[in-house]
Chains A and B, each alone.
Chain A
Amino acid sequence: MNRTMKSIIFATTLVIAVMAGAVPSVAEDVEKVFKFYCAQCHGESGDGKGINVTEDFPVTPRAFNNAAEMNKLTDADLRNVIHEGGPIASKSEMMPPWGKTLSDEDIDNLVIKLRALCQCKGKQG
């Protein structure tokens, strides 16, 4: 297969993937990602007091500045919960799955951001 043909196939695949609603491939700045996707429930400072946490909200979203709680989770736990939603780690369904929305790089960067907020390394897997 020549190079032009490969390029055409790659471009076509990319277009089909984007049209199908696939994950964006370009990572965004993690501070923007956190503010845009996470802050609505977890708060802009990550204290778990986002604007959606009204009296109707059935659980308390994770406070990322709570080192004791955050230390109970491994980095893999955090990555899985962001990707698959709360139930993957027996946590609340109120945490939806973001794996079809965020790129893997975005999720990896968020894990680093969460560790900076808790100033903890987490349970070692």
Chain B
Amino acid sequence: MKTFMSLITGLALTGFMAGNALADAAAGKAAFEANKCAECHYTQGPAQEKTIDDVWAKKGPELWYAGSKFNADWLGAWLADPKPIRLLAFNSLSDPNPGDHPKLAAGDAVSVKDFLMSLTAAEVEAGSVKAKKNPKGKLIFTKKMPCSGCHQYPDKSGNRGGKSGPSLVEAGLRLNPDWILAYLQHPAVFKPVKDMPNFVGILSDKDMINVSRHIASFKP
């Protein structure tokens, strides 16, 4: 009987928590709309871009897989106090990032984070990548397929690398390692049109895991 009661309590608790999560996500969606986030970010997948013009027409990154991409703690903190992730303004190759992303009130930041974390992509397999320094991944990142040419990254001598891609200096705090791998493996799903090469058929799955581990190890 005791076991049975424990089971019932456990199920009730799980149901309660799931219900709360749904309620949080619904409140977050309302806050997302009230703060006009949808003017720059779309949250309904699949990817909508089919041409370069479609990409250039965007004002901000798509967020339909945000819950698979970001670490929740980082996302909540960033929404309340956003700092530039890109060195350049979105879709610009010359203008510096003005750092003018709207700052959400503390309560809204939590709600919107809950909403965004509810948006996930089936292609992201939990537990497939562990953040860890990886010499093979480092070699790919800096030389073999030079990600460093376009992405800033942390180095012993300070931040280094290119400017056209999003900075990866805090990638270990910001990104879900499993998403980094899925992004490399399924470019057509996440960004069918992007100014970064597709590496499917060029890098093996093993090498994609290596480079994902390396990127996920980046911390300032």
Contacts and interface: CB of A to CB of B under 8 A. Distances in A.
Interface of A: 18-24, 28-29, 32-33, 35-37, 39-41, 44, 50-52, 54, 56-57, 93-94, 96-98, 100-101
Q: At the interface, is chain A mostly helix, strand, loop or mixed?
A: loop
B164 A98 contact: no
24 contacts: A18-B188, A32-B52, A32-B53, A33-B52, A36-B55, A37-B195, A40-B150, A40-B195, A41-B149, A41-B162, A44-B93, A51-B93, A51-B94, A52-B150, A52-B164, A54-B161, A56-B161, A57-B149, A93-B146, A94-B149, A96-B197, A97-B145, A100-B201, A101-B197
A50 B93 contact: yes
A100 B198 contact: yes
A94 to B, nearest CB: 5
A57 B162 contact: yes
B93 A54 contact: no
A54 B51 CA distance: 29
A98 B161 CA distance: 20
Contacts of A22: 188
B198 A54 contact: no
A36 B195 CA distance: 6
